[in-house]
Amino acid sequence: MTTLVVDAANVVGSRPDGWWKDRAGAARRLHEGLLVADTPHDVIVLVLEGAAKGGVKAGRDGHVRVVHAQGSGDETIVAETRAAAERGDRVTVVTADRFLRARCEGVGAMALSPSWLLDQLG
């Protein structure tokens, strides 16, 4: 099983398209893109925090599972990464945050940049 954990705030924030005016809308657009994306992953975990949580309800939608961070998005990303790795999944995390990348790699994940994911979304 392969799992992709997406740091939504980091991915959305990587391109200056006005996302800061509508964080919920930006999260919704990312979610919609992930639903139709052709990625080599069985499951995509989209982690939302703050105002972005208003754009997509938590839960599963096809192969995409949305998780609303209760506190720090980073802590939720690490927890989701660890849980997938402990299940034996091959885990990839998408974030540009170097400290978060190192933490996730420390629990067995590979890390990719937001630009990789944005390329997958077209």
The two structure tokens encoding residue 102: 């190192």
Q: Could you tell me the residue ranges of all domains in the chain?
A: 2-121
**pLDDT on residue 122:** 79
Q: For residues 66 and 108, what is the distance between their CA atoms, to the nearest angstrom?
A: 21
**Residue 111, phi then psi, degrees to nearest 5:** -120, 140
**pLDDT on residue 72:** 86
Give me the mean pLDDT over the 54-75 stretch: 95
Asked if residues 4 and 40 have their Cβ atoms less than 8 Å apart, the reply is: no
**pLDDT on residue 113:** 95
Q: Is the pLDDT of residue 38 over 90?
A: no
DSSP string for residues in 14-74: TS-SSGGG-HHHHHHHHHHHHHH---S-SEEEEEE-GGGGGGS-SEEETTEEEEE-SS-HH
Name which of 60, 45, 59, 40 is nearest 11 in CA terms: 45
pTM for the model stands at 0.96
Pairing of strands 2-7, 90-94: parallel
Asked if residues 22 and 109 have their Cβ atoms less than 8 Å apart, the reply is: no
Q: Which CATH number fits domain 2-121: 1.10.10.10, 3.40.50.150, 3.40.50.1010, 3.40.50.300?
A: 3.40.50.1010
| Position 97 confidence tier, pLDDT thresholds 50, 70, 90 | very high
**pLDDT on residue 42:** 96
